[in-house]
Structure formats: C-alpha cells, structure tokens
Amino acid sequence: MPASPSSSIRAARAALAVRLRELMSDAGLDGKDLSARCRWHPAKTSRILSGKSVPSESDLRAWCAACGANDQADDLIATLRAVALMYREWRQAHRAGMRRAQEESLTRHQETSVCRAYVSNVLPGFLQTAAYATALLHAITAFQQTPDDVAAAVAARLERGRLLHDPRHRFVVLIEETVLRYRIGDAAAMADQLGHLLAVMPLPAVSVGVIPSTAQRTMWPLEAFYLFDTAQASVETLTAEVTVTRPRELADYHRAFAELAKMAVHGAAARALVTAAIDALG
C-alpha cells in the first residue's frame, strides 16, 4: 500500500527543523536564549523545533538574526516555500480563479518526458474536451466557492492536449471503467468526450489502459495520482493537491501504478469498453 503522502510533508518539515536547530547550536544558544532574542514564548521555539509548528517567513528572519546568520535567511525561506508547495489547498490555489493553476499544470507537463496518470474519478485534463472540462470546472468552482474564470481556465487546460502530438512527450494512462460512465455534463458532452478519447488512443505518444469494473482486484481503487517522470507524484484529494518527492514514497506509487496496469486492458478491448459507455448514453 502506498505510504501516506503526508509523510513526505512531515519529513520536509523535520528537515527544516533540523537546520534551524543547527543554526541555534552553532550560535551557542538554547531554546530559551533564542526565544528571548526573538521576543516570543519558548513554547513557540519548541513547537518549531519539533516540527509541530511551521514558522513564517518573518519567523525565519528573526531566527537567523538571533543566531547571527542573516545570510542563511533567503535559503531557509526558499525551503519553507518548497514545503508549502507540497500541500496546496485547492481553495488557496484557486483564490483568484482556476486559470493560473491550469497554466502551472501546463508548465509541469511541458517539463515532463513521461507522465503516468491513474484516474478513478474523472478523465485527466490533457484528454478532456472543452465541453467536459467546462462542466467539470464549473462544478468545482461552485463547490469551492471561488471566483468564476472557467472560460479562461478551460482554454489553459486544453493547451495540455497539444502535448499529445509532441514526440518529446509520452502519456501512459490507466482509467477505471467507472470513469467512462460518470456523466460530467450532459449526454452530448459525454458522447463527444468519449469519442475524443477513442480518437487519441491510437496516437504514438499515448497509451490508454482501462481497468474493467469486473476485473479481479489485486490493487484496490486509489485516489487519482500523476507521476511526472521519476521526480515527483501529484496526488489529488477533495481539498488539496499533495506533491510527493520522497524516494521511498515515489517507489510505492510507481509500484502501485504497475500493479494497476496488470488489471487493465488495452487496444481493442479498451476501445470496446469506451464504445460500450458511449452506447449506454442512449
């Protein structure tokens, strides 16, 4: 079973705490001394050093000043921001609308040679049509109660689809059969989306496997996740995107993907399941 991605976040916070402890030690300070110099309660220092509390950027600058290590502040702040990006709340990411997040996702895909995607809820963005994406992003915007810039966000999302025709990129996708049946938008939108899926399946850069709902499970259905080369995994939850970079956890996700792939059908068998889903729309 893949480890919880939250362990990557805990490990990153712990590593930051270790660096702060080393600065304090190098300056010959204990927790009480540092707290006095920073003018905050010793309990705050204790929480930061234990990893239970995440310091702010101003906290880090105060810490470095107290230790006579102002030259370390910018690097520590960069580390703090990297830790923050490991767990990104959707509402925070979409606070000004969804377009920016879609553009950031495009950049990440452009920088990736092989993207592996396992989906158990909706089709991946790079396979979506305009109507499907519009219906989905409208639903997400309404649920999150964030600004509605769906038209711009959809345009940015569709840019990812161009990468399917770029020989520098490869997309390996595993889709639970139920995803083909979940109706996002009306019947016409779903029929168009599934027809588009059939059209891109033969592309040289694309491999699509469908896990039949009748498959004997050797790996249970998981939350949707994306593997970007061997560098990181992105796990999507209801409220947040979790970025995994810890080698042991990345290995777990790659292993899970391999196990899920064993249950998938490809080629004519996969196309038959997509066609059956289209027929079921009536």
Q: What is the pLDDT of residues 148-164, one digit of tens each?
A: 999 999 999 999 999 99
> Domains in the chain, please, with CATH?
6-87 (1.10.260.40), 94-280 (3.30.870)
Indicate the pairing of strand 87-89 with strand 170-176. Answer: unpaired
CA atoms of 234 and 258, how far apart (whole Å)? 16
Structure-token pair, residue 270: 């996969």
CA atoms of 67 and 64, how far apart (whole Å)? 5
Structure-token pair, residue 56: 């702010």
Picking from 3-7, 123-127, 207-211, which range would have the lowest pLDDT averaged per residue? 3-7
pLDDT of amino acid 167: 94
DSSP letters of 247-264? Answer: HHHHHHHHHHHHHHHHH-
Share of the chain above pLDDT 70, in %: 97
Q: Is 58 exposed, middle or buried (0-12, 13-18, 19+ CB in 10 A)?
A: exposed
Indicate the pairing of strand 240-244 with strand 170-176. Answer: unpaired
More confidently predicted of 2 and 90? 90
pLDDT at 193 over 70: yes
Span 182-202, average pLDDT: 98
Q: Is 60 exposed, middle or buried (0-12, 13-18, 19+ CB in 10 A)?
A: buried
Q: Is the pTM of this model over 0.85?
A: no
